[in-house]
Chains A and B, each alone.
Chain A
Amino acid sequence: SQQGEEDPQALSIQEGENATMNCSYKTSINNLQWYRQNSGRGLVHLILIRSNEREKHSGRLRVTLDTSKKSSSLLITASRAADTASYFCATDAYAGNMLTFGGGTRLMVKP
């Protein structure tokens, strides 16, 4: 079964720095989505990138997708303390399909 696995598992940076998180998966995908989760809270949808897209931007977020390497990266630029959270990638095999989540990257942004 497909799996999204994030790397690194934990990341600690200073406010203002950029944060890069990576995700790898095993099987063909239709879409890849990134979510944020604050401790003990719900999952907030950040961005979706389709399998035929290579890069997507949303505000301070930049997502890339390399289907040949079965990997994606999430870049948060000019990080803020409020960006402190866990970040997950999730993949689906076709429209309406279940999402398979990775284990997440715990990001800490120090003020």
Chain B
Amino acid sequence: EPEVTQTPSHQVTQMGQEVILRCVPISNHLYFYWYRQILGQKVEFLVSFYNNEISEKSEIFDDQFSVERPDGSNFTLKIRSTKLEDSAMYFCASSGRVYEQYFGPGTRLTVT
């Protein structure tokens, strides 16, 4: 069964460093998303991507964040200068025409 994959599973970085989180969505899906979940809190929407551009973004998704779909299969989230409060589990999701969103296993980002 097709699934969304994410790498790495755990990333530890120092405050101020750049990180890139990678995702491979399900191959025939059209919509791509990033969400995050701070430990013990709700899952929060960051950004959605459709037709090679951002379609929606939340207040969390400020200038420090960017997304790319560089090669038609990967979907990346970049955080330019990480802060302690960026520590969270980051989930990639994708959906096709049925609009069920399928989530990857997540990348746990720890900023020290």
Contacts and interface: CB of A to CB of B under 8 A. Distances in A.
Q: How large is the interface on B (under 10, 10 to 19, 20 to 34, 35 or more residues)?
A: 20 to 34
* Most chain B beta-carbon contacts within 10 A, residue among A30, A42, A102: A42
Given A42-B91, A45-B101, A101 B42 contact: yes
A102 B99 contact: no
A17 to B, nearest CB: 27
A99 B89 CA distance: 16
A48 B100 CA distance: 7
A41 interface: yes
Q: How large is the interface on A (under 10, 10 to 19, 20 to 34, 35 or more residues)?
A: 20 to 34
Interface string B41-81: 01111001010000110100000000000000000000000
Nearest to A46: B100
Contact of B58 (A40, A45, A98, A104): A98
Contacts of A96: 30-31, 48, 50, 55, 95, 99
Which secondary structure dominates where chain B touches chain A? strand
Contacts of A104: 42
A82 interface: no
B45 A99 contact: yes
A95 B96 CA distance: 10
Contact of A45 (B42, B102, B105): B102
Interface in B72-112: 89, 91, 93, 95, 98-106, 108
11 contacts: A40-B89, A43-B103, A45-B103, A90-B43, A96-B30, A96-B31, A96-B95, A96-B99, A98-B33, A98-B48, A103-B42
